[in-house]
Amino acid sequence: MSKSYRAWTGLGLGLAMISTGLGACGKAVAPAADAPEVASEQVMPAAIQEAVDAVASGGEGEGGISLDQAATDPVIYGAALAVTEAHVVAARDAYALGETEAAAEMFAHPVSEVLIELEDLFTARGVKLFDGLLLDASQAAMSGESPEQIGARTDAIIAALRAAATKAPESTRSPVSIRAAVAADQADRAATMYRIAREAGTYEPYLDGYGFYKAGMALFQEQETQITSANPAGAAALNEAFAELAKAYPSAGPQAELNADLSAITVSASSAVLANSH
């Protein structure tokens, strides 16, 4: 584990997540046999480290970010940042609906799913690491801060992600084309998570997908005019994909039924990826 992420142990957050049944996205992790019911500041270091390692290794991989590819491909690099943004947007919106534990979990997940893998790359590219912002937001959610305060923390994280985006690897592709491709990647992830949510019948993958949908749509809409000018077909495909995803993800809250047209969602998201692949 990267040394900067030993902030997990300082917060005791990893153990808190384990002991409350929270784990990597879409999965609950069983508490360690010797885990206390409530994490405190005075916990045996070995026990905390064990819990931290369990969280870090427990993800089912919906992050799907390759370090080697992110180091040279600005789309993959941007996708890593967008995955992080997706989690914090989902966390913010779930928290506003009273889903406190899910929100705390979502704020923390990018540390184990993305940042541990990419810390060295971010450091080499001069990115100011934002793990502390994520972990502080997770702890703040569990501490009962107001939705407005959590929203402000989310804005700060997104600002840090936007700053990190300026450090992307060089490419012959235009910035507009790269952004469109990242937005399409998020749409595709949202489609995949909707399928998983339907199959699993659980809230966590739905919330993941909601975040991917919202993050991707924001990336697209912020530069929709430029994307449309550069690639009309790509913009049209993105609009169609996000329209289908809007039917699938009406809110960040748990849904009684998931009845959106999975075929239409999947086809439109795949079409968006293809139309924005160059």
Encode pLDDT of 228-271 as tens digits.
999 999 999 999 999 999 999 999 999 999 999 999 999 999 99
Q: Is the pTM of this model over 0.85?
A: no
Cα–Cα distance for residue pair 138/269, rounded to 1 Å: 30
* 36, 162 Cβ separation under 8 angstroms: no
Cα–Cα distance for residue pair 191/189, rounded to 1 Å: 5
DSSP label at residue 231: -
User: How many structural domains compose the chain?
Assistant: 2
pLDDT for 46 beyond 70: no
Rounded (5°) CA angle 271-276-277: 100
Arithmetic mean of pLDDT, 87-98: 98
In which residue are the tokens 């089912």 written? 60
- Quote the distance between the C-alpha of residue 28 and its chain's center: 17
The reply to whether 109 falls in a domain is: no
Range of the domain at 12: 3-50
Of residues 203, 215, 187, 213, the one with CA closest to residue 105: 203
Which pLDDT belongs to residue 63? 59
Contacts of 154 (CB under 8 A, 6+ apart): 88, 89, 91, 92, 137
Identify the sign of the CA torsion 220, 134, 195, 98: negative
The reply to whether 81 falls in a domain is: no
The reply to whether 158 falls in a domain is: no
203 vs 97, 105, 250, CA distance in Å? 14, 12, 14
Of 32-36, 193-197, 243-247, give the lowest mean pLDDT range: 32-36
Which pLDDT belongs to residue 114? 86
pLDDT for 134 beyond 80: yes
The reply to whether 46 falls in a domain is: yes
Domain stops at, among 50, 66, 87: 50
The reply to whether 128 falls in a domain is: no
Arithmetic mean of pLDDT, 63-86: 91
Arithmetic mean of pLDDT, 15-28: 41
Contacts of 149 (CB under 8 A, 6+ apart): 140
The reply to whether 111 falls in a domain is: no
- DSSP letters for 79-134: HHHHHHHHHHHHHHHHHHTT-HHHHHHHHHHHIIIIIHHHHHHHHHTTPPP-HHHH
Task: Kindly indicate the confidence band of residue 55, based on its pLDDT and cuts at 50, 70 and 90.
Answer: very low
Of residues 129, 144, 181, 182, the one with CA closest to residue 6: 129
The reply to whether 30 falls in a domain is: yes
* 79, 185 Cβ separation under 8 angstroms: yes
Helix, strand, or coil (residue 53): helix
The reply to whether 78 falls in a domain is: no
Cα–Cα distance for residue pair 39/17, rounded to 1 Å: 9
Helix, strand, or coil (residue 141): helix
